Structure 1
Amino acid sequence: MKKITFYSFKKSLLTMAAVMGCVSLSYGQDIVKASYDDFGKPTADNTGNKRWQTKGEVLKAVNVAEESPLTFTPEGASSYQAWDNSDNPILVYPGGATFDLKVTYGDAWGSLTVFLLRSDKTPSAADKIFGTYEGSWYEGVSGTKELFTNAANDSEQGVTASSSEGSITFPITIPEDMTVGEMAVVRFIVCKTTEGKTFDGDPCTKDAYELTYCDYVVRIVKYGAVTLGEIPAEQGSAEIQSYDEATSSWVSASDLSRVEIGTELRVAVTPAEGYSVSSVMKNATALTASEEDGYFYFTVDEENIAILVSFQVASSIDRVESQNVYYNAGEAVLYTADAQRVEIFDLSGRVVMRAADVASVDVSTLNGGVYIAVVDGKVVKFVK
Structure 2
Amino acid sequence: MDARDTLMYREAHEAAEVVARQFAANDSVVTALAQSLRVKPPRFIVTCARGSSDHAAAYAKYVFETQLGIVTASVSPSVTSVYAAPQQWEGALFIAISQSGKSPDLVRNAQAAKIAGAHVVAMVNVEDSPLAAIADTVIPLHAGPERSVAATKSYIAALAAVLHLCARWHGDRALVDSLHALPDALRAGWDADWSALSDGLVDAHNLFVVGRGFGFGIALEAALKFKETCGLHAEAFSAAEVKHGPMALVGPDFPVLCFAQDDDTLASTLAIADEFRKRGAQVFVAAPGMQGAGMLPVLAGLPALCTPLLIIQSFYRAASELALRRGFNPDVPPHLNKVTETV
Shorter chain as denominator, the TM-score bin is under 0.3
TM-score (norm 2): 0.26
Which structure: greater strand fraction?
Answer: 1
Which structure: greater helix fraction?
Answer: 2
TM-score (norm 1): 0.24
Relative contact order, higher structure (CA 8 A, sep 6+): 2
Query: Which has the larger Rg?
Result: 1
